[in-house]
Amino acid sequence: PRLQVLASQEDVARQAAALLEARIRQGAARVLGLATGRTPLRVYALLSEAVRDGRLSLAGISTFNLDEYAGLSPDHPGSYRSYMNRHLFAGSDVDLARTHVPDGLAADPVAAGRDYEARIKAAGGIDLQLLGIGQNGHIGFNEPGSPFDSRTRMVPLAASTRAANAGDFPGGTVPERAITMGIGTILEAREIVLLACGPAKAEAVAAMIDGPVGPACPASALRLHPRVTVLCDAEAAARVA
């Protein structure tokens, strides 16, 4: 991957937003793969601002989110569908019919995974996939041990992942499972941009860049992809060789 170390989390967000905007304007990101979590929040705020100011349009863009919690309805405040609506879609001119998030309520998760893959394919594949990284090296909700050829499917969440996301479920419990794009799905994106900020990500970033390539660190799979940019703040990059 091309590693870019920036001074602050704000700089990471600005760089990521600038990259996304440039690709969208070039017509090189008609289909976006999107991540949730804390790291991309500021990126989505900057993109919404650009749309509001008339500098950017998401009107013709299709989006596919990486993952959704199992058992949550789209209007549950902790769901990733509601996160996307709140932080990006509602404040932009995106056509909601072109936005996709895996179905956390699917009665048949295997069919739902297959259907999600088919919808990605029908849209022409993902041009640009935005990623975060878990403290354990997960991408999407592909926890350590996930096969590199995995596809969209139901997975159990690691205890550390559930603990890290407990803040999104005040007074409740974090779901135990999620539907996530697989590592194989992610690797088919034409371009990938991974964001990592803060000291809690330092070990995962070092393992992704310098450690062995294998399922023990799901993000190490990105070393098999020809077009990956990793945008880090100084803290997240601190342990890279």
Instruction: Give me the residues that bind ligand F6R (CB under 6 A), please.
Output: 35-39, 66-67, 132-134, 138-141
From the list 65, 67, 68, 142, the catalytic residue is: 67
From the list 65, 136, 142, 165, the catalytic residue is: 136
The least distance separating ligand F6R from the CB of residue 38, rounded to whole angstroms, comes to 4
E strand intervals along the chain: 2-6, 31-34, 62-65, 67-69, 99-100, 128-131, 153-156, 177-180, 191-196, 228-233
The least distance separating ligand F6R from the CB of residue 134, rounded to whole angstroms, comes to 4
The least distance separating ligand F6R from the CB of residue 238, rounded to whole angstroms, comes to 16
Distance, CA of 18 to CA of 144 (rounded, Å): 31
Indicate if the alpha-carbon torsion angle 234, 238, 240, 241 is positive or negative: positive
The least distance separating ligand F6R from the CB of residue 33, rounded to whole angstroms, comes to 10
The burial class, CB within 10 Å (0-12 / 13-18 / 19+), for 75 is: exposed
User: Is 143 a catalytic site residue?
Assistant: yes
* 41 contact partners, CB below 8 Å, separation of at least 6: 87
Q: Which is nearer to ligand F6R, 26 or 173 (CB)?
A: 173
Q: Which is nearer to ligand F6R, 57 or 211 (CB)?
A: 211
From the list 127, 143, 191, 235, the catalytic residue is: 143
User: Is 191 a catalytic site residue?
Assistant: no
The residue at minimum Cβ distance from ligand F6R is: 132
Q: Which is nearer to ligand F6R, 38 or 76 (CB)?
A: 38
From the list 117, 127, 138, 191, the catalytic residue is: 138
Q: Which is nearer to ligand F6R, 133 or 228 (CB)?
A: 133
Q: Which is nearer to ligand F6R, 53 or 71 (CB)?
A: 71
CB 80 within 8 A of CB 86: no
Of residues 203, 196, 199, 200, the one with CA closest to residue 3: 196
The least distance separating ligand F6R from the CB of residue 152, rounded to whole angstroms, comes to 12
Residue 141 to residues 99, 122, 131: CA-CA distances in angstroms? 19, 23, 11
Which residues are designated catalytic?
67, 136, 138, 143
